[in-house]
Structure 1
Amino acid sequence: MSLTTITNALPIVAAAYGRKFNVPVQVGGNDAYTNGKTIQIPQIDDTPTSRIMAYGYLAHEAAHVRFTDFDLARSHTPLGRFVEGVLEDVRIETAIIRTYPGTRRTLDAVIDHLVDTGSMNPVSTTNSPSDIFGNGLLAISRHRYRQQPALRNHADQADGALRQVFGDSFVRRLHGLLADVPRLTSTADSMALAQRILELMEDEAQQPQDQQENSSKEQRTQPNDQGSGSEGTGHQSSESQAQGSESNAPGAQDEDSGTDAEEQSAASQAPSTDAEAHSALNQALSATDEDLPTDLFEQVAETLQANAQPSPTLLPTVEHFAGDPVQGQQTLKRVKVHSAKLTSRLQGLVQAHTMARSRTVRHGRQLSPSHLHRAAVGDPRIFRTKEQREAPNTALHLLVDLSGSMAGGKDRLALDAAMALALALEPMGGVSRAVTAFPGIYGQEDQVAAVVGHGQPVSRHAGAFTQGARGGTPMTGALWFAAADLLARSEERRVLITLTDGVPNHFVSAVDLVQRAGSSGIELIGIGIQTEISALFPTAIRIDDIADLKRELFRIAERLLLSTHR
């Protein structure tokens, strides 16, 4: 990955998805999964195919986290769980598309890719009954009710194979049940419909032999679907009813792409005998997990895992820390002594810097009385104009290293510095700041601890500044987190300040990210707590005690407020 592509890097895109869907996303490691609250995705090779899979996986799993009730008990049979999964996938994807229309393209791109590469093939009558039913249900549900055009041929062939193997009677009744898919509004609804489909299969599979024989005789004496006999009328009525249900539901498909092709496919297939259909249904009902198709997005997860790149956690999830409110107020009182003077000096600087100033020009509408004498010597600069300097327009993120090596007072010094700077900048117009500590509250390398967010007053979150040293130094992940936060901000200028003792777990990846962030327009400043960190950051400052803290904080704040963006 080149240094200029950080804005398109997976951790940045994943963070954007997390903000958009309000779902925690974590990047790194070797696995792709969802635990119902957080989405985990590995770092992958930077190729178009990997990006299609990764972004589609994020959108799909975000839909599950947003709309699936993971507390409900799943079916006790493999086939039941499979059917529930197919119906729920269609429901939650439809829901997230309704909320975020742009996800349609992201999700459909996954199916397009799987079809184009042959990873999804149409079913054939030579497949096993469980495979025909499973992949047939998947193709028909996604084509007709998720409206995925890439699966049109798959759905047509699936309908024909289903009719030949399981019989027309079963398929007509199945379509009647599937017509309820657009009306599913909850995970419980999906499970209830799945149970009705299983009951249909059991009912068709357990029909008495003499009833099946009579049904078979009746079908052989009735005209085909193109005629005007009772079977053709019944088929047409069932299909029309299903289509009517779809057209009345939100997001239903307007075209009749499925029905005509399915009827033509059915007419061209020689139906199985009742005994064969009975056997096929029983085989499908008794299918094991190994007999059934792999869940579609489990396949995507496996692909992502196969393309995982060894890396530390690149994008940690965030946890919020309230801390000790009483101790926090004591800390606030102590730090205010230093920040009050800093605030006063900074406000004066900003006012002086942005104050409208007069200057003389050659042309204008307002004369400058004190410069009229210039006209006598041929100097035309006798007009006065005022210019207003721009106010600060800066987003700032402070990262505080609270690793175990910061114990013994350095952790307290770093948090005091962060609080003082956050307090001093709080009343400044045009400046937004956030403070985050790393690693997680209990030393987790895949988490960071939010201290104070953009727009939040320090006084209400003072307790969060009472944390202590713990764990290792997962600086790379913390830098990704802060960079993602800054790139999402609208301010013209973005600054990332890291307070650390300068010993990251992965030194090379931390330096690499600092360079990438810098090439993407983020200014990076490192504040070394009783240590030199110039090897890590292009701009590095050392603070050894509270006296240094006051002096250096003013210099940093002055640079933030008055320097011109490079």
Structure 2
Amino acid sequence: MQRHTITNALPIVAAAYGRKFGIPVQVSGSHAWTDGTMIQIPEIRDDATSKTLAFGYLAHEAGHVRYTDFGLPRHLTPLGRHLENIIEDIRIEAEMIQAYPGTRTTLDSVIETLMADGRMSEVNATDKPVEILSNGILALARHRYRQQPALATQAKQADRVMRKVLGSRFVHRLQGLMSEIPRLTSTADSIALAAKIVALVEEEASPEAEPDEEEEGTRQNQEQGANRQDQSGNNPDQSTQPKQVDVKPALQAALDATDAELPADLFESVAETLGKHSGDSPTLLPALEQYAGDRQQGQLALNRVKVHSAKLTARLQGLIEAHTLETRRSARRGRMLSTHHLHRAAVGDSRIFRLKERKVAPNTALHLLVDLSGSMAGGQDVIALDAAMALALALETTNGVSRAVSAFPGIDGEDEKITRLLSHDDRVSARAGAFVQRGRGGTPMTGALWFAVADLLARRETRKVVVTLTDGGPDDFTSAAKLVRQATVAGIQMIGVGIGLDVSRLFPVAIRIHDIADLKRELFQKAEQLLIVGG
């Protein structure tokens, strides 16, 4: 797998969306959903349609997480709640496009894909009144106020059918209310506008409402035509003729519609489609959770590892200086003569020219993964965390090196979560409390590896290294081994640190340690591979 292939993989793209929008995203299970704080999508088929829907779903739901107030009370009727969703969807998408202009194409592609697949058809006069009303508003509002040109024909058709079935006066007044959409600035505004539209439907459906003059004229013409047909000897069954002007019952039917009678929410249907395009996959990308830990216990751990970290720092710095100091050597060709080697010419040795060389300095990003599965509890979890802290501390003052540390599974043993111990720009002393944890749960290593790889692919450093500290095999060895191979081919150095265990079966570069003191010796032997480009 080439690097461009792994960068297009679903977990990597999903992680990029999460970073871009500042929202936790996970790839797991067989359903797409959001709880208002994070977004989940399932692993999907590797085809254009699935990816278009998945990325559009991420952008749309990210808009809700960022801009929708989920705590506000909703309308009491199914129609009211449905209209709230339509209006709020348009509002938050407009907010996303303003903040992230590139999302316009991503979001518009969802509509174009649904239309091409026949899953977003035109409004027809034979549809139920509530379908005509809701789908008509959807087409008109998205075309006019979300500026989606693909819906031009559907919007024109919707306007025609709505006037025929729901009445021209109602549609005229409705469109007057819809003109408020571009000025909405909050979820409360969307809810208020939906309530106004429901009130309009109630008013026009009321028996006391005066008939539309245009519709009344049409009704009289139809009655006169029917009378003429009767006088000519024909007696058509009027019950079989379409009721083109009897708008009050149609509006009342829309008001009385149940949730089951309403059309599916646009992006709920996208989520359902994504579920059909997936299998019940294990977690491929866990969501990041924050963890501060115990500051006092963290300080004790920091004091405990400082001696090991200091020795490791000194050795690493010595290695780096050896690779960055300017060196001189003699050569057979060059522009400058070496006065110290001119005597070689007398014996036929042509190495009399002087060359200067400066070896490459580090330009490396590392992500340390700490396995805190249940089997690590009872001592090995402390060894792993101390080792990670020591290495992170040793590299903290190393120019050209960036490092992050994460632990898996989540704090409560959840496969779908990964815990942040240290971000790339954090100082260990400020985050020491996060390094005080205990083993729990299983070993969802594949998801943790995807998370680390996604993190490094977003970094600018030339060399990218994942170091995994573990005491055993992953829950799914096959998928973890496959990802290790893919990442290696893509140029990411994958190193395994086995705690009392040989992990060379999984990792191409493997280290075995029994305590934190071993880490200093074993890591130094791999330090050139860790830090130096070309090492």
Work out whether 1:474 is the aligned partner of 2:444.
yes
Map of 2:66 onto structure 1: 66
Map of 1:50 onto structure 2: 50
Letter in 2 for 1:289: D
Q: Distance in 2 between matches of 1:46 and 1:220?
A: 55
Q: Distance in 2 between matches of 1:31 and 1:415?
A: 34
Which secondary structure state, in structure 1, belongs to the residue aligned with residue 31 of structure 2?
Answer: coil
Q: Deviations over 1:292-326 (max 9, x none)?
A: 11000111000011111232111111112211111
Letter in 1 for 2:181: V
Q: Distance in 2 between matches of 1:91 and 1:217?
A: 37
Map of 1:286 onto structure 2: 256
Map of 2:237 onto structure 1: none
User: Closer, same or farther in 2 for the Cα pair 1:367/1:213, shift >3 Å?
Assistant: closer
Map of 1:318 onto structure 2: 288
- State how 1:526-565 maps to structure 2 within 5 Å: 526-562=496-532, 564=534
Map of 1:253 onto structure 2: none
Map of 1:340 onto structure 2: 310
Map of 2:83 onto structure 1: 83
Which secondary structure state, in structure 2, belongs to the residue aligned with residue 495 of structure 1?
Answer: strand
| 1:94 shift after superposition | 1.0
User: Closer, same or farther in 2 for the Cα pair 1:535/1:381, shift >3 Å?
Assistant: closer
Q: Distance in 1 between matches of 2:517 and 2:308?
A: 10
Q: Distance in 2 between matches of 1:67 and 1:547?
A: 50
Q: Distance in 2 between matches of 1:291 and 1:7?
A: 43
User: Which of 364-373 and 298-307 deviates more?
Assistant: 364-373
| 1:91 shift after superposition | 0.7
- State how 1:159-558 maps to structure 2 within 5 Å: 159-206=159-206, 208=208, 211-212=210-211, 272-273=244-245, 276-361=246-331, 366-374=336-344, 382-558=352-528
| 1:446 shift after superposition | 0.8
Gaps of at least 5 residues in structure 1 are 222-269
Which secondary structure state, in structure 1, belongs to the residue aligned with residue 370 of structure 2?
Answer: strand
Q: Distance in 2 between matches of 1:70 and 1:279?
A: 34
8 Å contact 1:167–1:271 — kept in the other structure?
no
| 1:359 shift after superposition | 2.8
Letter in 1 for 2:423: G
8 Å contact 2:167–2:212 — kept in the other structure?
no
User: Which of 295-304 and 402-411 deviates more?
Assistant: 402-411
8 Å contact 1:500–1:526 — kept in the other structure?
yes
Give me the TM-score of the superposition, normalised by structure 1. Answer: 0.87
Q: Distance in 2 between matches of 1:431 and 1:74?
A: 51
8 Å contact 2:25–2:40 — kept in the other structure?
yes
Count how many residue pairs are aligned between Structure 1 and Structure 2: 514
User: Which of 510-519 and 372-381 deviates more?
Assistant: 372-381
Which secondary structure state, in structure 1, belongs to the residue aligned with residue 281 of structure 2?
Answer: coil
| 1:429 shift after superposition | 0.8
Letter in 1 for 2:20: K
User: Closer, same or farther in 2 for the Cα pair 1:503/1:363, shift >3 Å?
Assistant: closer
Work out whether 1:129 is the aligned partner of 2:99.
no
Q: Distance in 2 between matches of 1:280 and 1:201?
A: 10
| 1:200 shift after superposition | 1.3
Which secondary structure state, in structure 2, belongs to the residue aligned with residue 31 of structure 1?
Answer: coil
Work out whether 1:23 is the aligned partner of 2:23.
yes
Q: Deviations over 1:19-45 (max 9, x none)?
A: 000011011111111100010111111
Letter in 1 for 2:185: T
User: Closer, same or farther in 2 for the Cα pair 1:319/1:213, shift >3 Å?
Assistant: closer
User: Which of 438-447 and 556-565 deviates more?
Assistant: 556-565
User: Which of 3-12 and 315-324 deviates more?
Assistant: 3-12
| 1:216 shift after superposition | 5.1
| 1:202 shift after superposition | 1.3
Letter in 2 for 1:144: R
8 Å contact 1:502–1:536 — kept in the other structure?
no
Gaps of at least 5 residues in structure 2 are 221-241
Q: Distance in 2 between matches of 1:403 and 1:56?
A: 35
8 Å contact 1:338–1:550 — kept in the other structure?
yes
User: Closer, same or farther in 2 for the Cα pair 1:333/1:173, shift >3 Å?
Assistant: same
Letter in 1 for 2:365: A
| 1:213 shift after superposition | 7.0
User: Closer, same or farther in 2 for the Cα pair 1:537/1:289, shift >3 Å?
Assistant: same
Percent identical across equivalent pairs? 60
| 1:342 shift after superposition | 1.1
Q: Deviations over 1:138-182 (max 9, x none)?
A: 100111111111111110000000101111111111111111111
Q: Distance in 2 between matches of 1:99 and 1:3?
A: 29
Map of 2:225 onto structure 1: none
Q: Distance in 2 between matches of 1:534 and 1:352?
A: 29
Which secondary structure state, in structure 1, belongs to the residue aligned with residue 260 of structure 2?
Answer: coil
User: Which of 419-428 and 551-560 deviates more?
Assistant: 551-560
| 1:345 shift after superposition | 1.5
Letter in 2 for 1:350: I
Give me the TM-score of the superposition, normalised by structure 2. Answer: 0.92
Q: Distance in 1 between matches of 2:468 and 2:181?
A: 51
Q: Deviations over 1:41-66 (max 9, x none)?
A: 11111111111111111111111111
| 1:277 shift after superposition | 1.0
Which secondary structure state, in structure 2, belongs to the residue aligned with residue 314 of structure 1?
Answer: strand
User: Closer, same or farther in 2 for the Cα pair 1:367/1:3, shift >3 Å?
Assistant: closer
Q: Distance in 1 between matches of 2:301 and 2:213?
A: 87
Letter in 2 for 1:535: R
Q: Distance in 1 between matches of 2:2 and 2:350?
A: 53
8 Å contact 1:108–1:148 — kept in the other structure?
yes
Which secondary structure state, in structure 2, belongs to the residue aligned with residue 400 of structure 1?
Answer: strand
Map of 2:98 onto structure 1: 98
Q: Distance in 2 between matches of 1:549 and 1:354?
A: 25
User: Closer, same or farther in 2 for the Cα pair 1:477/1:216, shift >3 Å?
Assistant: closer
| 1:558 shift after superposition | 3.7
User: Closer, same or farther in 2 for the Cα pair 1:534/1:4, shift >3 Å?
Assistant: farther
Which secondary structure state, in structure 1, belongs to the residue aligned with residue 465 of structure 2?
Answer: strand
Map of 1:261 onto structure 2: none
| 1:555 shift after superposition | 2.0
Q: Distance in 1 between matches of 2:169 and 2:4?
A: 60
| 1:218 shift after superposition | 7.7
RMSD: 2.1
